[in-house]
Structure 1
Amino acid sequence: MALYAELHRHLGGSVVPRVLWRYFQRHSTNLGQKFPEYQEFEEFYTKPRNTLDEYLELHTLVESVQSVETLPYFIYRLMRGAYIFENLAYLELRYTPYLRTPDHLSQSERIDQMAEIVAVVGKASRVPEYPIVTSQILCMHSRLPYEVNKAIVNLAVQSRDYVCAIDVAGGDTHYKERLDEFIALYDYARSLNLNTTGHLYETTDGCYPELLPYLMRIGHGIQIPLSHPELLSELARRNQCLEVCPTTYLKTGTLEDLRQLKIVFDRCFDAGVDIAICTDNAGLHNVRLPFEYENLLTQDIIDFQQLKACQNAAFRHAFAWPYGSQPPASLLHGLLQPEAPALAESVSN
């Protein structure tokens, strides 16, 4: 029975190493020739990087092969793994649609093609044999022009059947010079009743309190409890949820030890701030959501009661979960309850 909700997973980083390697081999790409043996490719693809910017460069490797034609191939395998190996009942996939369009086209042509990308991702995500509730988060990007980012917001509004929110990504260091732009875009999105999240307070370079009032959830946000705990009461008042992705911080060099997250969880629980535990880039990390849970438990960063609270918070803050705040376990309990009297009667007879 699928039980979990994943609120922060990038389409580019979701492709597990073996699937990506097989694709490169079958299509005789440069990377396929560079890494004829799988083990070498896995080591290259999943090894830790020194900085967030260096880590994000790996996204371009996958974006270059995710097109209108190939997205169904990758998404089918993503959905299959999410259902069979991760027990996901709900999944929000985030990505920048502009970066899945051919780069030889003009900017206006690429903007026009984004709607087709969203439709392809939406249809490919609905796989009957792997019944997961899915939705998309469209990412504005710190290195894209204002016109493209505004077009992404407008596309999200026009594609509510497939899209539940917007985000900003591309490395939080790069927001600083364009902060007014992103504030205006988020304000515009909220005026159109669009849900919002954003990569913020992930690193010490990404602390922009001016953006916080426009976000319903915060992508990562770990620097708030670590370095700016005075903000936690305001987050609790706004009912903002942190999307914490444990393995990411080791892969990007943001943290040296996973146990540093104990402060994050303890301070958030004390302040009444919800946390949803996520994977971010499950393929890049070669770590699935249940293993994120297990790592936090075995290293005594959280206990089972706190894990349950985080799992419930993920459904409560999910933008497109159709059953309100009810997680699948409570729905299953409700389905089983009516059978109890009938079972008792059959036993007594």
Structure 2
Amino acid sequence: MALYADLHRHLGGSVVPRILWRYFQRHSPDLAQRFPQYREFEEFYTRERNTLDEYLELHTLVESVQTEQTLPYFIYRLIRGAYIFENLAYLELRYTPYLRTSEKFSQFERIEQMQTIVEIVGKASQVKEYPIVTSQILCMHSRLPYEVNKAIVDLAADMRDYVCAIDVAGGDAHYAQRLDEFVGLYEYARSLGLNTTGHLYETTDGCYPELLPYLMRIGHGIQIPLLYPELLKEIARCNQCLEICPTTYLKTGTLDSLYELKVVFDRCFEAGVDIAICTDNAGLHNVRLPFEYENLLTQDVIDFKQLQACQDAAFRHAFAWPYGQRPATLLMGLLQETYSQDEEDSLLAL
């Protein structure tokens, strides 16, 4: 039975290299010619970058082929892999719907088309043979105009059957010049009763305390325990959860080794701040959630008790998980009922 929850996975970075390369070979002659051999493509797609901005440029490669027509193709394979290879019971997919609309359209037409994109992603995520609870987080973007970002918030409010929260993405260094604008958008989102998370305190350039009061979860947030541990007490009081994505920090050049995260986990546990371990961009990293767990354990960043606490926290802070308990607890209850029934049947047979 699936046991895990991933609260931070980008639709653009979720496509594993092999599936993306095969799509290029079959449907995109230009990209197929650029990467004729799979090994060459995998090396390019998954290698470490020097900065977060350089890393985020890879999203444009995938966004260009995630259209109305192709999204079901990619999402089916995403859900299948998440269920079979990662044991996921719950998955929140985040993306900017505007970036999946047609560039041939006007801004107004692209805003109108966003509703169709959300519907396609929502319906394609419901795969009967792979029963995962899924929901969407719609991302505002640091490089999109205010009108588009506000439309994304409004869309999230209008489509709650598919959408569980909003986010802001696009590189945290780019928020600074528009900080008041994003504060206003988050304030507006909270007034609509929307759940909120946001890419914040991921890098040393993305530390904006002005946004913290509007977030229910913090996307990454590793610079808080590393550089601003005095904030942890308030984060614990507000029951804000950090979405830690270990491999990302190596791929973006933010950290030199996973072991640097030990300080993050230790300080958060000491302060009573919850952490959910996530994948961020499982395809770009070619690393699935159980391997994130294993890497943290084998490199002595966390122990098994801390891992279980993080897994519990992921379900506790999941915006759209419909049950009061995580799947392992539910399964134990079912097994206990089965054992009790077997014992009763045995007594009746005597």
Q: TM-score, normalised by structure 1?
A: 0.99
Aligned to 2:97: 97
Aligned to 1:300: 300
For 2:338, give the aligned amino acid.
E
Structure 2 distance, partners of 1:338, 1:247, is 40
Structure 2 distance, partners of 1:226, 1:42, is 32
Aligned to 1:174: 174
5 Å-filtered alignment, 1:39-118, equals: 39-118=39-118
How far residue 341 of structure 1 moved from its aligned partner, in angstroms, is 2.5
Structure 1 distance, partners of 2:346, 2:140, is 60
Q: Secondary structure at the match of 1:104?
A: coil
How far residue 264 of structure 1 moved from its aligned partner, in angstroms, is 0.1
Instruction: Count the aligned residue pairs.
Output: 348
Q: 2:297 matched to 1:323?
A: no
Structure 2 distance, partners of 1:173, 1:105, is 29
For 1:123, give the aligned amino acid.
K
How far residue 340 of structure 1 moved from its aligned partner, in angstroms, is 2.0
5 Å-filtered alignment, 1:121-132, equals: 121-132=121-132
More off after superposition, 7-16 vs 24-33: 24-33
Structure 1 distance, partners of 2:129, 2:341, is 31
How far residue 35 of structure 1 moved from its aligned partner, in angstroms, is 1.1
Structure 2 distance, partners of 1:178, 1:249, is 25
For 1:61, give the aligned amino acid.
L
Structure 2 distance, partners of 1:152, 1:28, is 29
Q: TM-score, normalised by structure 2?
A: 0.99
Aligned to 1:229: 229
For 2:328, give the aligned amino acid.
A
Q: Secondary structure at the match of 1:338?
A: helix
Structure 2 distance, partners of 1:143, 1:338, is 54
Structure 2 distance, partners of 1:181, 1:83, is 39
Aligned to 1:6: 6
Structure 1 distance, partners of 2:313, 2:34, is 43
Q: 2:142 matched to 1:142?
A: yes
Q: Secondary structure at the match of 1:12?
A: coil
How far residue 319 of structure 1 moved from its aligned partner, in angstroms, is 0.1
For 1:188, give the aligned amino acid.
Y
Structure 2 distance, partners of 1:29, 1:125, is 28
Q: 2:157 matched to 1:192?
A: no
Structure 1 distance, partners of 2:338, 2:257, is 48
Q: 2:337 matched to 1:338?
A: yes
Structure 1 distance, partners of 2:49, 2:98, is 26
Structure 2 distance, partners of 1:282, 1:330, is 26
Structure 2 distance, partners of 1:224, 1:53, is 20
Unaligned runs of 5+ in 2: none
How far residue 343 of structure 1 moved from its aligned partner, in angstroms, is 1.1
Structure 2 distance, partners of 1:209, 1:345, is 59
Structure 2 distance, partners of 1:34, 1:58, is 15
Structure 2 distance, partners of 1:28, 1:163, is 31
Structure 1 distance, partners of 2:340, 2:320, is 34
Q: Secondary structure at the match of 2:13?
A: helix
Offset from partner CA, 1:3-29 (integer Å, 9 cap, x none): 000000000000000000000000143
Report percent identity of matched pairs. Answer: 81
Q: Secondary structure at the match of 2:102?
A: coil
Structure 2 distance, partners of 1:345, 1:219, is 49
Structure 2 distance, partners of 1:136, 1:225, is 28
Aligned to 2:262: 262
Q: Secondary structure at the match of 1:183?
A: helix
Aligned to 2:209: 209
How far residue 288 of structure 1 moved from its aligned partner, in angstroms, is 0.1
Q: Secondary structure at the match of 1:14?
A: coil
How far residue 219 of structure 1 moved from its aligned partner, in angstroms, is 0.1
Structure 1 distance, partners of 2:147, 2:8, is 25
Aligned to 1:18: 18
Structure 1 distance, partners of 2:344, 2:165, is 49
